[in-house]
Structure 1
Amino acid sequence: MNSRLNIIAGFKGGKSYVKDLYVSLPFRVVSVGQRKDDNKLYQMVMSSSPGILDGDHYQLEVSLEQGASLQLQSQSYQRLFNMKDKAVQELNVLMEDDTSFAYVPHPVVPHEDSNFKSQAKINIGKNSQLIISEIITCGRKHYGEVFKLKRFQNLMEIYHENKLVIKDNVLIQPDLIPINSIGNLEQYTHQGTLIFYSTKNDVHKDQLIETVVEDSERVKGEMEIGVSAMENNGFVVRALGHGGEVMYNFFLHIQDILWDLDKKNVEDCVKF
């Protein structure tokens, strides 16, 4: 099935709003931030399908006009079902100047013999910030499907002023790369990546990283967390663990810290 989701976040009168929205089956988009008073836009992507099936091609187009802030949320865990061939998802995000975009979806659950490739291309404008993550699980552990997928790949490219600033490529292919080998996942069953990138001048990157590292102590024993600083105003959080829910909740906590940087100091962030 070829499925499309197109959303344009506009900005008018100091508020972000849905300027245009188009979806085809199985997608549905609903507003979830009615009680927030920050004038930002909160949308949840929902699906009538139980998961991604063989031959599916999902194409998501997201645009933020100047001044807009959009936070996308997912409905539930994303299941990748048994496939004879493969499924593909494309995400294209265009961020104009003075925008904020966040997308921290639920974990992905690859079933046995699933073959999935996700490609994301993001163009970020001036004085803007991006928060985006991904969590990949081992599959249906209680069904004995621990990394019995054929192949999983998530390729992400982030551009600023037509220059590639970040490229992240996660590839899991158990028949080619032993998943439990040294330098790979070793004894862990879940892997997560969260990327924060900002083109603003007043981002206290080192302080933010210190906050994330300090908060990771609360989940020590359940996850291993590492943070890599970028040359510019950004960092990458890598997580390894044995459960998707703990990792997902920790990523949501990081998102909360980063989302309202324009309204609070790092010291005022709620601790995990």
Structure 2
Amino acid sequence: MISELKILTGKRDSGTYLKECYCTRPFKVANVREERSDPVLRLMMMSSSPGMLDKDHYQLDITVAAGTALHLQTQAYQRLFNMETGATQEMRVRLQTGSTFTFLPHPLVPHEKATYTGYTNLHLANNCRLIWGEIITCGRKLNGEVFRFTKLHTITQVFSGEQLLLRDNLLMQPGVTSFEAMGWMEEYTHQATFLFFDTHEKEALNETADRLHRYLEEQPRILAGVTRTAGNGIMVRMLGHSGEQLFECQQQLAKLLSV
């Protein structure tokens, strides 16, 4: 099933509003902004489906208009069910001049024999701030499904104009790769990626990267690395044992960026 979600923000006075929204089953969008004075538009992306099924194809298209701020969140963990062909998600986000976008979704949970491919393209204009995350679990760990999925492939690209700033290509095939091997996951079962980009001309991120690193060093049972990228960005990779812990860490990293 092909499912679409399109969002366009608009600017009104000093705040952001939902200018256009189009979605097909199983998607729904809810405005979860608690204070009307909040200049940030806070939306929750919901689904009436328990997860992605075989041959599902999700298409997400988000435009954050100039001078607006959007915080998009998900409702629950994204389950990837038993599949023969596989499921695909394509996400394209365009940040116009002076806009801000935050998206830290709940973890992906691939069930046994799940096959999934995810493409994410993030396009930045000048004076933008982007916070984006992804968490991948080993599967239904408590049910004994640890790396029992067939294939999981995610490709994330960040652009400034036509210039490619970052390309993260993650391919996980349990039948091909031993995740316990040195240099791979070793004793860890969950992983997370956290990206932060700020295209304001004078924004220096060395101190910011150090602040994130100090926080991560204090977290138990997590192995993490922080690196600077091209285009005034920061990339964080985390390994852990709990999707909930990694999800909470990403929320805290986002809060540290506003300090």
Instruction: Give the TM-score taking structure 1 as reference length.
Output: 0.92
SS of 1:112's partner is coil
Matches within 5 A, 1:36-47: 37-47=37-47
Q: Deviations over 1:182-232 (max 9, x none)?
A: 111111000110011111123231111111111113313x21111011244
Change (3 A) 1:223 1:5: same
Q: Distance in 2 between matches of 1:257 and 1:203?
A: 15
Q: Distance in 1 between matches of 2:225 and 2:216?
A: 9
Deviation at 1:255, TM superposition (A): 1.4
Letter in 2 for 1:27: F
Matched, 1:252 2:251: yes
What runs of 5+ residues in structure 2 fail to find an aligned partner? none
Matches within 5 A, 1:32-181: 32-35=32-35, 37-181=37-181
Q: Which moved more, 1:42-51 or 1:225-234?
A: 225-234
Q: Distance in 2 between matches of 1:199 and 1:223?
A: 29
* Counterpart for residue 8 of structure 2: 8
What runs of 5+ residues in structure 1 fail to find an aligned partner? 261-268
Q: Distance in 2 between matches of 1:37 and 1:247?
A: 31
Q: Distance in 1 between matches of 2:201 and 2:255?
A: 20
Letter in 2 for 1:188: Y
Q: Deviations over 1:145-166 (max 9, x none)?
A: 1000000011011111211111
Structure 1's consecutive aligned runs of 4 or more residues displaced over 6 angstroms after TM superposition are: none
Deviation at 1:36, TM superposition (A): 6.5
Aligned residues: 259
Q: Which moved more, 1:11-20 or 1:111-120?
A: 11-20
SS of 1:155's partner is strand
Letter in 2 for 1:88: T
- Is the CA contact 2:165–2:230 (under 8 Å) kept in the aligned structure 1? no
* Counterpart for residue 238 of structure 2: 239
SS of 1:219's partner is coil
Deviation at 1:177, TM superposition (A): 1.8
- Is the CA contact 2:112–2:149 (under 8 Å) kept in the aligned structure 1? yes
Instruction: Give the TM-score taking structure 2 as reference length.
Output: 0.97
Q: Distance in 1 between matches of 2:37 and 2:202?
A: 24
SS of 1:67's partner is coil
Matches within 5 A, 1:195-210: 195-210=195-210
- Is the CA contact 2:166–2:229 (under 8 Å) kept in the aligned structure 1? no
Q: Distance in 1 between matches of 2:53 and 2:29?
A: 20
Q: Distance in 1 between matches of 2:234 and 2:185?
A: 21
Deviation at 1:38, TM superposition (A): 3.5
SS of 2:218's partner is helix
Q: Deviations over 1:115-146 (max 9, x none)?
A: 00000111110000111110000001111110
- Is the CA contact 2:111–2:149 (under 8 Å) kept in the aligned structure 1? yes
Q: Distance in 1 between matches of 2:165 and 2:4?
A: 27
Q: Deviations over 1:218-254 (max 9, x none)?
A: 313x211110112442110110011111110010111
Q: Which moved more, 1:31-40 or 1:153-162?
A: 31-40
